[in-house]
Amino acid sequence: MSIAYINDDAFHPSNDDYERWSKDGWEMVVGLEVHVELATKTKLFSASPNRFGDEPNTNIDPVTLGLPGALPVLNRQAVELAMRLGLALNCTVQKSTFARKNYFYPDMPKAYQISQYDEPINIDGWLDLPDGFRVGIERGHLEEDTGKSTHVGGAGGRIHGSDYSLIDFNRAGVPLVEIVSRPDIRHPEQAKGYINELREILVAVGASDAKMEEGSMRVDANVSVRKPGENFNTRCEIKNVNSVRSLGRAIEYEARRQIALHEADEPVVQQTRHWDENDGRTHTLRSKEDADDYRYFLEPDLVVVDPGIEWIERVRDALPVLPAERRAILADAAGQSANSEAVMVVAERGQDDYVMDVAKLGGDAGVALKHVKEAPELAEQVPVESLATLSKMELSGVITASQAKTIVAVMIESQNVDPEVIAADLGFEAMDNSDLEAMVDQAIAGQPEAWEKFCAGEGKAMGALVGAVMKASKGQADGKAVTALFQTKKP
Amino acid sequence: MNNNRTSAVDIAQNVRNNVKTAADFIEEHLARIAEHDGEIHAFNLVLAKEARARAAEIDEMVAAGRDPGPLAGVPVALKDNMCTQGIPTTCSSNILADWRPPYDATVVTRLREAGAIFVGKTNLDEFAMGSSTENSAFGPTKNPLDTTRVPGGSSGGSAAAVAADFAPISFGSDTGGSIRQPAALCGVVGVKPTYGAVSRLGLIAFGSSLDQIGPFAHTVADAAIGLETISGHDPGDSTSIQEGPLDLSRKLELGVAGLRIGRITDLPAGASPDVEQRTEEAFDALRAAGAEIVDVKVPAFSYGLTAYYLIAPAEASSNLARFDGVRFGMRTASTDTNRMYMATRTEGFGDEVKRRIMLGTYALSAGYYDAYYGRAQKVRRLIANDFSAAYEKADVLLTPASPTVAFEMGDKASDPLTMYLCDTYTIPSNLTGHPGMSVPFGTGDHGLPVGVQVLAPALKDDVMFQVGAALERSAPQRFTGSGEGGAS
């Protein structure tokens, strides 16, 4: 390999954090290339099943194996799913073509991959992260997957030095869409957020199950660093990133590596680098000079894909409500921000409909959201009517927040789903203010030192005072109301 | 030569009407093959046992009152680059010498369903790359009219099989002239249909955007029925036309009165005087039959050869990359995967195939793409535009099919460029996707046959056949040579 310096892989930057070097005036520039396997019944160009986990080499046929005389026939469902995800990513769906990408590898049966090249089906879209940050989408194109090689013997499962290799062609010809972002990402958290949001969209539109651990979603990151406002510097492509967490670690490591090079006036060499989960570093895989010449040319065995405006609009009309909009609706109903933890978590679980149903029955969405976030089982096990009733009881002060939580636990554990019956059984009654006030006065009298400190502005002292009231009320008092009462007692 | 030929049309009629059995016809043809193919080598593989078994089935169907189809009992030879399930399909290459496809090509299925009986797989230039059938890994095919001469190529085996009456119909593939040129050299009819008219599924690809399967026959009528049988939409080939089978046989007697026959005034020179003269006589014959002869220009015609020798090798370099020793075919063991690829391909491919793989790889390479492959594609569009303009003025065009009559074996084998010139007149219709056919029209030097080529616009195969049939009716005798060394 012709690399500018030999010690590349022995060079490791110091282990400090993003905030430190971003304060030093560097920013990372990241673009992501995401391959997703489409959830089609059959392969992109043949009738063999597209199924993960079957016995090796059972889902094969002459097209999959690239036998002489075999010809590809494009899978209509793959085109539809590609359009669906393209439209969900605000792309323009256009007339597209396939090309051949030529290279030799044992798990590449025809010695070329059929892939969209200069005329992809989806172009020019965007994806908004929950916090509103917008990442541009350059393209989302269709291509076929390769087979899977297993290298036996030798070190590290690499082909080099192995005793022999086994190939499973079940995956060969599985339809992929490669989604290429623009280099808009500036922070590891944005990269992770992009992948999380993309995954939710893919699942929502039914395009893919998008499981990184099963390889149905694979992420490569292009990383460079620069001083803000300056031109882009040389980038490196990071491969073998197998989880969202690794993605954050890998690009942060890579950015630090490049910053250290820049600061030492060493060149950053354009190359493909391999993320090693074990040592937490990226390593040189191949440099640009070694890159294959893929000799792309138009695939003569296929014709132009022109879905036509009617099909495109039909797909657009059939799109489900997308995750961002679901979150906005939920957030609005619950009176929270769309990227609040409760909204994010509940929407990701797909339990936002359950919360919205509570609101439709006159219940309180905000209260319901809080309980569903804490107790996901609610949505599966407790009728929406029960949560609606409970939320009304809590909101009106018939029961306190902590009582409501107790009732939720009972509803999930027992078969009893009537919150009013449970409240009665547990002897929960609304405490009137005179009872509370008596308890508050008692607490002040019992702990004069704490009271003095509280009045002097020591917030911490409040804990002991409220604790005393909670003890006296056997946990039934509403913490907020108690705090408010203490405030009014201040001299 | 067998001068008492029975046409495919007549064989089918006899078999369907129970006048003569398919078994009898098959035995007659197998006997000729047994007697002469040792010398001619039209076949890589003779399917005597299978043919006899199939003939018995056909005869049983007839006896049971069922119709075996329009090609009932007709012996058919297949170029050995069309997949036949369980039967070796070699492309005349060592790399596929022992390969048995697990499926039939669409044309094979359609022929079988029409009642045809396969008598064998015919020899070709390795992977259909050549114009003389001398590039076969299994030895050359000889021209049945003069066994010191080549039958043309790459479908030389299929052309020779019809010329020697081993079968009334055979099928070849035409990427740059590989049906029409050997048809001309062997004195038979050869047709390259409109691109997409015949499914390529199961045809082992050479240049995918150029390849097309078509028939050889002794008569235009037999070629018509052969092409009708195999043509029409195939959902297994994305480039196949949406229409049903071509409608040809009913058009053969329509004549040419009122048709405009184009003469390309700027046709590249290079045809020998005997061929030029016969082509002129063909124009005269059509004029006499009532056609109008019009002059047209196709300025880009002469760029066809150079564009072709970039595009076809480029596609071939990709199509032939799958022969890597991993999943099927020959494998030469070596110390690692890359060396195994190299050893397998070095041993498995012949020189011409390697030459074209290298040419094509180069033409597609980064830094050369624009100058070679990219420019060739532009020329291709230019040629198509020029032909479109010509077809505004003419219904069909007439040219020589081959610049010369059959040449002697070994004559051009050592000089690829001279060999490539054999396809000067046939190549443009592969680049445009238009149909073309070669019809025997008298003899040239040494009493050897001359073929005249009829070219037509896309999907006008029927008009082309109409003109071809008229030429056939007025054609002089197609072989007057001594047949020295000939097969009787």
CA A199 to chain centre: 5
pLDDT bucket at B486, cuts 50 / 70 / 90: very low
Whether the Cβ atoms of residue B302 and residue B368 lie closer than 8 Å to each other: no
Handedness of CA B459, B462, B465, B466 (dihedral sign): negative
Query: Residue B438 catalytic?
Result: no
Task: Tell me the chain B residues in contact with residue A68 when contact means C-beta distances shorter than 8 Å.
Answer: 83, 89, 91, 96, 99, 101, 204-205, 322-323, 328
User: Which residues, other chains included, contact A293 with Cβ-Cβ below 8 Å and sequence gap of 6+?
Assistant: B365, B366
ipTM for the whole complex = 0.95
pLDDT bucket at B185, cuts 50 / 70 / 90: very high
Q: φ and ψ at A455, to 5 degrees?
A: -65, -30
pLDDT digits (tens, 9 = 90+) for B439-450: 999 999 999 999
B327·A67 Cβ contact <8 A: yes
pLDDT digits (tens, 9 = 90+) for B44-55: 999 999 999 999
Q: A46-77 burial by CB neighbour count: b if 16+ within 10 A, else e?
A: bebebeeeeeeeebbbbbbbbbbbbbbbbbee
Half-sphere exposure of B319 (CA within 13 A, CB side): 30
Task: Tell me the chain A residues in contact with residue B318 when contact means C-beta distances shorter than 8 Å.
Answer: 100, 102, 111-112, 295, 297
Cα separation, B41 vs B39, in Å, equals: 6
Q: Which of B93, B158, B170, B178 is catalytic?
A: B178
How far is CA B80 from each of CA B8, B40, B46, B88, B328, rounded to the nearest angstrom? 21, 16, 11, 8, 17
Whether the Cβ atoms of residue A384 and residue A404 lie closer than 8 Å to each other: no
- What kind and span of H or E run contains B443? strand B436-443
How far is CA A440 from each of CA A173, A448, A457, A484, B33, rounded to the nearest angstrom? 72, 12, 18, 10, 115
Cα separation, A333 vs A356, in Å, equals: 8
Closest to B158 in 3D by CA, of B108, B122, B105, B202: B122
Cα separation, A46 vs A387, in Å, equals: 49
Cα separation, B449 vs B145, in Å, equals: 9
| Domain of residue B170, CATH code | 3.90.1300.10
User: Which residues, other chains included, contact B306 with Cβ-Cβ below 8 Å and sequence gap of 6+?
Assistant: B376, B379
Share of chain B above pLDDT 70, in %: 98
* The pLDDT value given to residue B488: 39
Rounded to the nearest integer, the mean pLDDT of chain B is: 96
* The pLDDT value given to residue A474: 73
Residue ranges for chain A with pLDDT beneath 50 = 1-10
CA distance A63 to chain B (A): 11
pLDDT digits (tens, 9 = 90+) for B9-39: 999 999 999 999 999 999 999 999 999 999 9
Domain count, chain B: 1
Task: Tell me the chain B residues in contact with residue A71 when contact means C-beta distances shorter than 8 Å.
Answer: 200-201, 236-238
Q: What is the pairing mode between strands B436-443 and B189-192?
A: antiparallel
Whether the Cβ atoms of residue B443 and residue B476 lie closer than 8 Å to each other: yes
pLDDT above 50 (res B463): yes
DSSP code of A83? H
Cα separation, B142 vs B163, in Å, equals: 11
Nearest to A110 among B102, B238, B322 (CB): B322
Whether the Cβ atoms of residue B116 and residue B71 lie closer than 8 Å to each other: yes
Half-sphere exposure of A439 (CA within 13 A, CB side): 25
Cα separation, A477 vs A468, in Å, equals: 11
Task: Tell me the chain B residues in contact with residue A73 when contact means C-beta distances shorter than 8 Å.
Answer: 235-238
Cα separation, A47 vs A345, in Å, equals: 39
A110·B208 Cβ contact <8 A: no
Cβ of A137: how many Cβ atoms within 10 Å?
24
CA distance B178 to chain A (A): 18
Task: Tell me the chain A residues in contact with residue B366 when contact means C-beta distances shorter than 8 Å.
Answer: 293, 295
A233: tokens are 């510097």
Record: fold of A433-489:
Arc Repressor Mutant, subunit A (1.10.10)
B238·A66 Cβ contact <8 A: no
Question: Would B52 be classed as within a structural domain?
Answer: yes
pLDDT above 70 (res B483): no
Cα separation, B408 vs B446, in Å, equals: 11
Question: Would B189 be classed as within a structural domain?
Answer: yes
A295·B103 Cβ contact <8 A: no
Query: Residue B474 catalytic?
Result: no
CA distance A302 to chain B (A): 6
* The pLDDT value given to residue A232: 93
A65·B103 Cβ contact <8 A: no
Taking CB atoms within 8 Å and a gap of at least 24, the contacts of A158-163 are: A159/B337
**Domain span holding position B141:** 8-265+390-474
Closest to B398 in 3D by CA, of B261, B260, B220: B261
Give one DSSP letter per residue of A11-74, joined into a string: -------HHHHHHTT-EEEEEEEEEEE---SB-SSSSSB--TTPSTT-S--HHHHT-TT-----
* The pLDDT value given to residue A287: 65
Count helices and strands in chain A by DSSP H and E runs: 18, 14
Nearest CA in chain A to B361: A295
* The pLDDT value given to residue A425: 82
Position with higher pLDDT, B284 vs A287: B284
pTM: predicted TM-score of the whole model, two decimal places: 0.89
Cα separation, A390 vs B57, in Å, equals: 81
Q: φ and ψ at A198, to 5 degrees?
A: -60, -45
Question: Would B435 be classed as within a structural domain?
Answer: yes
A227: tokens are 């001083």
Query: Residue B240 catalytic?
Result: no
Taking CB atoms within 8 Å and a gap of at least 24, the contacts of B482-485 are: B482/B447, B483/B1, B483/B145, B483/B146, B484/B146, B484/B148, B485/B146, B485/B147, B485/B148
Cα separation, A328 vs A334, in Å, equals: 10
Whether the Cβ atoms of residue B438 and residue B221 lie closer than 8 Å to each other: no
- What kind and span of H or E run contains A345? helix A341-348
B277 to chain A, any CB pair closer than 8 A? The answer is no
Nearest CA in chain A to B85: A69
pLDDT above 70 (res B120): yes
Task: Tell me the chain B residues in contact with residue A74 when contact means C-beta distances shorter than 8 Å.
Answer: 238
pLDDT digits (tens, 9 = 90+) for B420-446: 889 999 999 999 999 999 999 999 999
B233 to chain A, any CB pair closer than 8 A? The answer is no
What average pLDDT does the segment B192-198 reach? 98
Whether the Cβ atoms of residue A127 and residue A91 lie closer than 8 Å to each other: no
